[in-house]
Amino acid sequence: MFKLVSLALTLVALASAQDSTTSWQTGATQGPTPSTPPPTPGGSNVDRECGGDLTNLWLDVVVVVDNSKGMTNEGITEIAANIVTVFGNGTRIGNQYSDPRSTRLGLVTYNGRSTIVADLNLLQSIDDLYQSVFSTLNQVSNSDDSFLAKGIGAAENVLQSGRTNGVRSNYKRLVVVYASAYKGEGELDPIPVADRLKSSGVVVSTVAFDQDGDEALLAGLTNIASPNYAFTSKDLNLVGELQGAALQTNCFCPNLWTQYKSNFDDENSYKYGVCIRPATISSSWTAAKFACQNLAKNGFLAAEYDGQKHNFLFRVAQNNTAFQAPYIYHIGLSYVNGGWNWQQPAGYPLKPMSGYSKWNPSYPKSFTSNIGVVEQQFSSDLTVGWQNINAYSVAEYYMCEVASCDTDKYC
């Protein structure tokens, strides 16, 4: 292990020492700070972020590496160092751990044809990963052909056969492609297979091995990658970008729950570690509070810490046909212990309301018994605001919230 690690570190160091002379950077000098797209302005960012602990990453990953001549020996060696740096810092490789949060990693190379170096079950430790990556990616093949379709096609096979009999069907899947060329028409067109993967929920990230700013390569790979996940070897923080892609892929909501994003209408906007579910059975505020706690472990009546979250919940209601104007639903705000407080998972202290508020005109009213808060459409213009109501007698729909599945939470 130490031998391999120091070999890798030497290679990483070598690669960074050469940063000034080559276009390729492993990003190791920048440190592997996972980078995710910044939240859209408007959110004060107090909602839970997706888990960011690479030690607890739980994914099925296939890494696809172009080893045609165009990649060059130097380039492929740097890719090897990049791969082990991204997935080799504490991530449990394989599936033989008592903690289910582990990452299986398959490896495919391609040129005119593809080779499956490791299926999803071969690599069972970080040592295996180093061994396999550095013994395979030490020199390019003698082929000039670089057919991306072959590489991604093999990745699809690896993912399929690694899942027989429903093995790890709850794990998200990520394909990372390192390519030096974009070619292919007809049978060699990589788009159909990439589209098939993405529409079945696989996230695809690409790294263009970009020697001289080949724009056709970049443009081509952008069509292959999932939105925001087309990177280049020139990116200063490539390690962080790939780790960020892995962490965001690992962050998702169970069925029937909608993931909180910076923009409801943009599926690819920044994802928070928060899941929302509208409950369309009328209940009192107090009943809704307990119902959310029972709907999911650690569930609670949803919080609105800022305008971005407020708007998101409203869009969730608007997009649900069970709701009709005027829109009204309970949220997790109530008057307790002498102040307005937000619900939290059962057992956690309530969070005092601070900063943001969205009371309708003339609210809050005297709150002797009116201690629960609904979101209510106040006027004919399509906005909603807060109104305090009797927490035992006013029955409305409600919004529940729970933490997402991610590196902090296996589900």
Ligand X SMILES: *[C@@H]1O[C@H](CO)[C@@H](O)[C@H](O)[C@H]1NC(C)=O
Residue 325 Cβ vs ligand X, minimum distance, rounded to whole Å: 17
C-beta closer to ligand X: residue 4 or 350: 4
Q: Does 354 bind ligand X (CB under 6 A)?
A: no
Q: For residue 193, which of 114, 250, 266 has the smallest C-alpha distance?
A: 114
C-beta closer to ligand X: residue 319 or 354: 319
Q: Does 258 bind ligand X (CB under 6 A)?
A: yes
Q: For residue 19, which of 238, 241, 242 has the smallest C-alpha distance?
A: 238
Hey, how many other C-beta atoms are within 10 angstroms of the C-beta on 381?
6
Q: Where do we find the tokens 């690409």?
A: 206
Residue 150 Cβ vs ligand X, minimum distance, rounded to whole Å: 32
Query: x/- binding map, residues 16-55, to ligand X, per CB under 6 A?
Result: ---------------xx-----------------------
Tell me the C-alpha distance between 245 and 204, whole Å: 9
How big is the chain by its Cα radius of gyration, in Å? 25
Element (H, E) at 300: strand 300-301
Residue 326 Cβ vs ligand X, minimum distance, rounded to whole Å: 20
C-beta closer to ligand X: residue 318 or 377: 318
Q: Which of 182, 260, 264, 312 binds ligand X (CB under 6 A)?
A: 264
Residue 399 Cβ vs ligand X, minimum distance, rounded to whole Å: 14
Tell me the C-alpha distance between 394 and 16, whole Å: 64
CB-CB contact of 263 with 274 (8 Å): no
C-beta closer to ligand X: residue 44 or 89: 89
CB-CB contact of 303 with 401 (8 Å): yes
Q: Which of 29, 40, 89, 357 binds ligand X (CB under 6 A)?
A: 89
Query: x/- binding map, residues 214-253, to ligand X, per CB under 6 A?
Result: ----------------------------------------
What is the full DSSP assignment across 264-297? TT-TTSPEEEEEEEEEEEEE-HHHHHHHHHHHST
Residue 243 Cβ vs ligand X, minimum distance, rounded to whole Å: 9
C-beta closer to ligand X: residue 32 or 220: 32
Q: For residue 205, which of 247, 166, 259 has the smallest C-alpha distance?
A: 247
Tell me the C-alpha distance between 249 and 261, whole Å: 14
Q: Does 319 bind ligand X (CB under 6 A)?
A: yes
Q: Does 268 bind ligand X (CB under 6 A)?
A: no
| Farthest CA pair distance, the chain | 81
Tell me the C-alpha distance between 122 and 89, whole Å: 19
Residue 238 Cβ vs ligand X, minimum distance, rounded to whole Å: 13
Q: Does 121 bind ligand X (CB under 6 A)?
A: no
**What is the total count of residues that contact ligand X (CB under 6 A)?**
7
Instruction: State in Å, rounded, how far the first CA of the chain is from the last one.
Output: 32
Residue 180 Cβ vs ligand X, minimum distance, rounded to whole Å: 25
State the residues that interact with ligand X by CB under 6 A.
31-32, 89-90, 258, 264, 319
